[in-house]
Structure 1
Amino acid sequence: MNPAPLRRWLAQHQPSAQRFPYDAVIDAYQHHGKQRVPTNWTALLRAARGRLPELPAPTGDLAAFLDLALDKPDDRYDYRSYLALPLLPIPDPDNRPQPADRMLAHRDRLHVLLLADLITFELRALDNSSPPLPQLRPDPAVVRKRLRHTVRAAMPALRRRGVTIPAASDPVTAARQAAAVALDLSPQERLTLRATMLPVSTVHDEWMFIRVLQTFELTFGLLAVDLTAAIAAVHGGHLHTAGTRLSFAATLLRETAPLWSLLATIQPQAFHTFRVHTDGASAIQSRAYKLVESLCRTPDPQRLNSAAYLSVPDVRARIRGGQPTITEALDAIRANHQALAQTPVLADGMRQFTTAVHQWRRTHYRLAVRMLGTSRPGTGATPGTPYLFHGRDAAVFGDREPLTCGDGHR
């Protein structure tokens, strides 16, 4: 990989963010893996970051990209930088609210594009067209299974976008049809997909691992928005609306089921090869997970002061500042049995969401045990499955069956 394009950019009297050689840098990172990018590249990238104050605005995306590319040399590497989350438009209840249908459309578009990118990557490997990450390629049978699950994971969002994939017995044919929806990428979407794939290794399966985790983050971000809306609806006396938002959140969570099947196709040797380079990055740091969990029920003091929440200080600050929760909102109306009886949509939404959450947790646990066993440490040198699930780190909600989505509230 030749850093000449980056040197030429730096040599300009007044370089611009729009002309930054993203492709050359990304190609280098995918060729070497972030863990082994040569020091001459990181030195040039630091020089580029040093010139940002000279550039005409806007430079926000470039600044974020350079921080992500330099996270390991800067000793700032974590889950968010591993997944390049600052460059992904993850839904966030703190942002200015938009109509629910518009937010869903934005989420569905990005969800499909992330999965279409994965399909394209796997098809290139299947076609022997020399994609990046050549180490430990899976055999064709595994790829075909992977493609089938990826198409399944994309289908609900595709249908909502009016895209129909004809029934095909061959998963490769269906995958090519699903990937075709990404042919109309805007320049910004193309850059987003490219810039959010900075793997630590050259192991083939890491591409899938990153894309699946990014799609989970995207979905949980929207779940946090829906839960926030449901809380506001309960407080405003709009119980039917609250039930509808909870039912929809349950549907979104159920739609992630094929992602678990997809992730289960990861080769154990591949996973344990690249995960040794992910020290410092763990799902324990997922802001979206913690938002969803804390919007359902205020964590107890022990959990709030554990690594799970100390790793997401802004969410912890929200909670300590009195963030409202679904459990508290419903407790306020629980005594009014007539109101609840007259709003079966709310009760149904509560049941659906609780069921979806518990199914998600069970599937997550089974896959984690399969990948990590019951004694291995977790990704990023965090505790493994006993801590993640009995200690409720990666679990979104508590262990007892709740009436709503809170832990221990019947």
Structure 2
Amino acid sequence: MAAGNDPRSTAPDPPPGPDAPERARLDFARRSSYGDYLRLGTLLAAHQPLTAAHDEHLFITVHHVSELWLDLIVRELRAAMDQLAGGVTDAPLKGLTRVVRAQEQLTAAWEVLKTMTPAEYLQFRHAFGEASGFQSAGYRMVEVLLGNRNPTLLRPFEHRPDLHGPLQAALHAPSVYDLTLRLLAARGLPLPPEVLERDLAAPPAEHPAVLAAWLTVYRDPQRHWDLYELAEKLLDVEDHFRAWRFNHLTTVERTIGFRAGSGGTSGAGYLRRALDAVLFPELWQVRTQL
């Protein structure tokens, strides 16, 4: 038998190829690993079900993941708004596109939660008492930045100055739509003082001058291309915001029917009414008037 074919041969194994797993770093005693960088121990330790119900972990996971996406959306909205305040129109499009992609993930999360049946939900529903997504500071901040403003909705955070303070500041600052309208005015599109100097803490009101300005943009998109693109991107954001709200409603109806919500609202009825909120009304109206 040839030496090379002898199974008892003591010849050393060939070195691993460049694509072999042995080429990866395997010793992290003194290096920062994936789990270290992401602080996965802290993240996963936050998953603390209060009951033995199997689906409570799913419920917590979906809401934890949603809060992370909401945090990212707030960050991207603020960056885009800073750029708009500086008169920049092209760079915010990337940030707003990222917002839309994150909104898609938020909406998809409801599909995972829908795999939980009403009977499974009721196994742990009692455990979280009056806790409710109505009290999500992340979601409320997204609403405020987008212009859906109601001071009453900030009251659940009054006991937490670290949450209430930033929300109050955002409530009295321009929304993304306010900044967009100021940009239209800076480009010479006529907008009256009652639009540009409105009470920022109040919900936006439809105004014929705003519609007229957008009609100017939409009737000559080549001349106003960056404003036209910005308007369409804002509409993408509102479109996905509506989709998230609608999927939230159907998830609630499928899981608890028309029971009252844990946070004191009527539940599905409150969510259905919230569907009527319009963030950028003139951007929807302009399609009818073209």
TM-score, scaled to structure 2 = 0.65
1:6-405 equivalence runs, <5 A = 184-186=34-36, 189-297=39-147, 299=149, 303-305=150-152, 308-313=153-158, 314=161, 316-318=164-166, 320-321=168-169, 322-335=172-185, 336=187, 337=189, 341-343=224-226, 344-374=228-258, 376-380=259-263, 382-390=265-273, 392=274, 399-400=277-278, 402-403=280-281
Question: Which string of whole-angstrom CA distances, capped at 9 and with x for unpartnered residues, describes residues 95-129 of structure 1?
Answer: xxxxxxxxxxxxxxxxxxxxxxxxxxxxxxxxxxx
Q: CA deviation at 1:275?
A: 0.8
What amino acid maps onto 1:270 in structure 2?
E
**Structure 1 CA distance for aligned equivalents of residues 42 and 102 of structure 2:** 23
Q: Quick one: structure 1 residues 358 and 280, their matched pair in 2 at CA, closer, same or farther if it must change by over 3 Å? A: same
Contact 2:80 2:91 in 1 (8 A): yes
Q: Percent identity?
A: 23
Question: Which string of whole-angstrom CA distances, capped at 9 and with x for unpartnered residues, describes residues 36-87 of structure 1?
Answer: xxxxxxxxxxxxxxxxxxxxxxxxxxxxxxxxxxxxxxxxxxxxxxxxxxxx
**Structure 1 CA distance for aligned equivalents of residues 37 and 88 of structure 2:** 41
Q: CA deviation at 1:332?
A: 1.0
Contact 1:205 1:270 in 2 (8 A): yes
Q: Quick one: structure 1 residues 191 and 297, their matched pair in 2 at CA, closer, same or farther if it must change by over 3 Å? A: same
State which structure, 1 or 2, has the greater radius of gyration over its C-alpha atoms: 2
What amino acid maps onto 1:309 in structure 2?
L
What amino acid maps onto 2:267 in structure 1?
G
Contact 1:234 1:330 in 2 (8 A): yes
Compute the RMSD of aligned alpha carbons.
2.9
**Structure 2 CA distance for aligned equivalents of residues 379 and 204 of structure 1:** 20
Q: Quick one: structure 1 residues 278 and 358, their matched pair in 2 at CA, closer, same or farther if it must change by over 3 Å? A: same
Contact 2:70 2:139 in 1 (8 A): yes
Q: Quick one: structure 1 residues 201 and 405, their matched pair in 2 at CA, closer, same or farther if it must change by over 3 Å? A: farther
Gaps of 5+ in 1: 1-182
Aligned to 1:78: none
Contact 2:132 2:263 in 1 (8 A): yes
Q: CA deviation at 1:363?
A: 1.0
Contact 2:146 2:279 in 1 (8 A): no
Gaps of 5+ in 2: 1-32, 190-216
Q: CA deviation at 1:281?
A: 1.1
How many aligned positions are there? 214
